[in-house]
């Protein structure tokens, strides 16, 4: 593959990573809607995962064609194996990202259910309104 193209794709990925990071942290902090907070959190998780995978794609030697960490030859000779080890990207970040995605999904499933619970109880998912309702209900303040 063209080395300039590879460099450009790296640049694009890194830029989009930081833009996503900034946007999602803004979303988690600033949006009052709980569903939007969860969406922003998901984007944050996926940005971190993409960054970890990107580290595995680090160009170890310029001009080298990279390949996925899957051996296609089922009866490999030692030359095939050497070629595979040289060209293949790092599989360890991909395995860790797989774990991270599962944990992230577990968290998302739980948060979604909690949000549904809150919506059924208060009738809204806006944290500002929920805070006011809680003060009225629990402490019987009049605002």
Partner 1 sequence: MILILVLSLTYLTYLGGLGELPPNDVRLIAKNYLNLTYNPYVKSLWASSPEAVTAIVWDYRGLDTLFETVVFYGAVLAAITLFRKVAKEKDMLQSKGMSVVVKRATAIVTVAMLTVAFSTALHGHLTPGGGFQAGAIGAVAPLVMIVVFGKRYLEDRGLSYGRLLSLRNLALTGIGVTSIALFTYALIQGGFSFIFQNQGKSLSPYSFPSYTLDVPSGGILLFFNVFEFLAVLAGFTLVFLILLGSDELLSKEFEGGENGY
- Decide whether 14 or 30 has the Cβ nearer to partner 1: 14
- Give, in order, the Cα–Cα distances in Å from 136 to each of 27, 67, 69, 97, 114: 27, 60, 58, 44, 21
47-124-37 Cα angle (round to 5)? 10
DSSP bridge pairs for 88:
67
Task: Please tell me the count of residues contacting partner 1 according to CB under 8 A.
Answer: 54
For residues 104 and 28, give the distance between their C-alpha atoms in angstroms, rounded to a whole number.
15
CA 127 to chain centre: 24
Contact flag: residue 114 with partner 1 (CB under 8 A):
yes
Among 60, 64, 129, 131, binds partner 1 (CB under 8 A): 60
Contact flag: residue 56 with partner 1 (CB under 8 A):
yes
Instruction: Point out which residues bind partner 1 (CB under 8 A).
Output: 7, 10-11, 14-15, 17-19, 22, 54-56, 58-60, 68-72, 74-76, 78, 81, 84-85, 88-92, 94-95, 98-99, 101-103, 105-107, 109-110, 112-114, 116-117, 120-121, 134, 137-138
């Amino acid at each position: 593959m063209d080395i300039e193209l590879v460099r450009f794709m790296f640049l694009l990925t890194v830029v989009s990573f930081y833009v996503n990071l900034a946007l999602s942290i803004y979303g988690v902090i600033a949006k009052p809607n709980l569903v939007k907070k969860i969406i922003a959190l998901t984007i944050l998780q996926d940005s971190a995962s993409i960054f970890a995978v990107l580290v595995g794609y680090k160009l170890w030697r310029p001009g080298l064609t990279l390949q996925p960490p899957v051996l296609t030859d089922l009866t490999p000779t030692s030359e095939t194996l050497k070629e595979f080890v040289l060209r293949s990207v790092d599989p360890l970040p991909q395995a860790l990202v797989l774990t991270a995605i599962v944990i992230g999904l577990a968290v998302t499933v739980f948060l979604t259910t909690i949000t549904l619970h809150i919506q059924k109880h208060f009738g809204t998912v806006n944290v500002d309104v929920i805070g006011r309702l809680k003060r009225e209900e629990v402490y019987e303040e009049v605002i």
